[in-house]
Every structure is written in C-alpha cells, then in structure tokens.
C-alpha cells in the first residue's frame, strides 16, 4: 500500500494512506449498518444491517416509508376480520409486521443478516419471546425471506438468553442478543449457542463519564475495554458466537476495535470513516486475543448470572435503561399504528 505524507501545520508530518479508514476496517472486520433507512444502507454497502425499535420508529415517520406501516396495519386488519387473531392481539401483530416489512426490504439490499427485534416489553418472558420470534420468522417467510437471513434480536436478560437458546436449538433460528454490558451476559450467550451478541460501547462510556467526569481516549474507553475483554474470552475458550461491537459515540472507539468479528455503525460515523485516511492497524486478532485473556471460564447458571450482573452497577443500570428506552419507543410506534385502525 502506498503512503502519502501530509503536513499538520507544524514540523511533524503524519503518514496518510490512499484507502479510507472504512475500507481499511473492512479488511479486518465485517461492517454492519445500524439504521432502518434504506438509502443509508445502500450508500455504504455493508454486509449486514441491524434495526431496533428506536430506529424503526424514526424510519416509520419518514414519508417514503409510510407505505410499510400502512401495509402492516392492513395485514393486521385482515387477520382480525378473518378471525385469525383477536382484538387483544391485533396491535402486537401489526408491530411485528412493521418490523418484518422493514427487515424484508433491508434484506434486498444487504447480502448477509438483517436483525429484527422482538418487542422489548417481553424481555423478562422467555416463552412469549419465543412465540413472537417464531411469528416474525413466519411473517418473513410469507414474504419470501428465509430464516437463514434473519437474526432475531432480544435483550440479554436471563430470560432473553434462554429464549435465544431455545430458538437456536429447537428451531434453527439465529439470534442477536443485544444490550450486552458485561462479561457474564456475553458468556451466558456463548454457552447458550447464540449466533451473535451486541456488546455496547458508547453507553458504557456514557455511564463511567457521568460517574467520574473523566474524558476517555479510545485506548482507556471502558466500553472499548469491555468488548476487547469479551472478544478475548470467546477466543480463549473457543466459542463460535460472533462478537459485534455496537453503540458507538465516536470513530475512535470503532477504530480501537478493528479486527472485532463485526461492528455495527450508524451512518454519520460511517461517513466520518469514509473521510479519514490515517493508517489503521489491527487491534484484535483471534490467536493473540486468546493468549491475552488471563481468567478462567465463568460458571453459568441462573443464580451466578443474576448475582454477577447485580454486582456490576453499570451493567444492571444500562440494561434496564436500554429496555425501558426501547419499550417506550415501541409504545410510541404502537400509538401511530393505533391511529390507523
């Protein structure tokens, strides 16, 4: 790779490269678009795409996507009229159908996985989560999208992880366990045979910054260190679960995780990466990561999971906050749908 030299206004000069940071990052890591807007996904040509209730709510209010919402309402109305579903379940069906409609459209753009999230209000109900996940897969199949293209997205509560384990084992449905803030959550997912986890970076940093007042660099960012630790643990103990860093506040956090299995990145940060041409080394690599993890395998049972999670104030607070936030946005989307019935 040829290098250019660019002056920074002083005596020092820094090497630049001809490929953007985004292109260099793609050498080491699978890039995933974190958005529900189709135009943004097309712009960056990612391998996968993720959605969540907040992104779907935002997209649903954009005029060019209203037809997907209206189609979901029409579908639910028809199911109600035919007796396939009762009054008490029609809104939930419409919500699932909206998420699937967006997911199916996204699946036409990306070659890999599309994450579709189960109603966050079911985060503490294993059986209800499994039931809704199966319906999402069935709705997607009706539209010609196979389950192999979909990751069912569920919050990494104890109940959510159990739901993911059931879906993976009994149905062959791939899952994305989200809102991961601690090693015990990640380890429980790996033991459960979950396809992919989304450990959050920026929200961890937000918590520590608020508590300590510290301004973190990429190298001492608590969120970056958390994902590195999870990656090392998985590689040491030979887990196949994919680690996908999420929830970034700046490009420094992203670049510090180059080499992570996957990174899901919002469009604004993808643009920044496209316009940066600094050389990018690989920070995470399986063999060296496996050697770097110093600890033993964690005990994964319900009691230890709940205790270890309880011991981490940050993880406990951010998991609860994340579920509340997604649940609130689902409620807002539900009101939009309700107004169309």
| Active site residues per annotation | 153
| Those residues with Cβ within 8 angstroms of residue 24's Cβ, 6 or more apart along the chain or in another chain | 17, 258, 279, 280
CA distances from 254 to 194, 266, 274 (A): 23, 11, 13
Q: Rounded distance, CA 194 to CA 162, Å?
A: 10
3-state secondary structure 263-331: EEECHHHHHHHHCCCCCCCCCCCHHHHHHHCCCCCCCCCHHHHHHHHHHCHHHHHHHHHHHHHHHHHHH
Of 251, 250, 197, the closest CA to residue 226 belongs to 197
Strands 13-17 and 3-7: antiparallel
Read off the tokens for 228: 């590195």
């Amino acid at each position: 790779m040829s290098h250019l030299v660019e002056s920074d206004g002083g005596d020092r000069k820094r090497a630049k490269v001809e490929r953007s940071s985004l292109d260099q990052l793609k050498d080491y890591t699978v890039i995933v678009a974190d958005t529900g807007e189709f135009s943004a996904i097309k712009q960056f040509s990612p391998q996968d795409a993720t959605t969540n209730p907040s992104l779907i709510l935002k997209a649903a209010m954009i005029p060019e996507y209203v037809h997907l919402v209206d189609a979901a309402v029409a579908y639910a109305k028809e199911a109600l009229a035919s007796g396939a579903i009762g009054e008490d379940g029609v809104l939930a069906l419409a919500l699932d159908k909206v998420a699937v409609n967006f997911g199916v459209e996204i699946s036409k753009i990306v070659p890999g996985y599309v994450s579709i999230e189960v109603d966050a209000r079911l985060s503490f109900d294993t059986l209800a989560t499994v039931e809704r996940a199966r319906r999402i897969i069935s709705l997607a199949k009706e539209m010609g999208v196979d389950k192999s293209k979909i990751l069912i997205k569920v919050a990494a509560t104890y109940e959510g992880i159990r739901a993911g384990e059931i879906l993976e084992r009994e149905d062959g449905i791939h899952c994305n366990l989200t809102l991961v803030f601690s090693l015990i959550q990640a380890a429980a997912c790996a033991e459960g045979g979950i396809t992919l986890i989304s450990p959050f970076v920026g929200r961890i940093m937000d918590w520590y910054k608020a508590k300590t007042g510290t301004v973190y660099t990429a190298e001492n960012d608590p969120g970056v260190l958390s994902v590195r630790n999870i990656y090392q643990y998985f590689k040491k103990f030979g887990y196949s679960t994919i680690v996908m860093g999420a929830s970034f506040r700046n490009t420094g956090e992203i670049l510090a995780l180059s080499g992570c299995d996957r990174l899901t990145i919002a469009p604004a940060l993808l643009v920044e990466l496209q316009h940066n041409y600094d050389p990018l080394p690989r920070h995470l690599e399986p063999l060296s990561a496996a050697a770097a993890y110093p600890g033993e395998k964690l005990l994964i049972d319900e009691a230890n999971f709940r205790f270890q999670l309880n011991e981490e104030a940050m993880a406990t607070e951010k998991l609860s906050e994340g579920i509340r936030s997604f649940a609130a946005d689902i409620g807002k989307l539900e009101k939009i749908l309700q107004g169309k019935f």
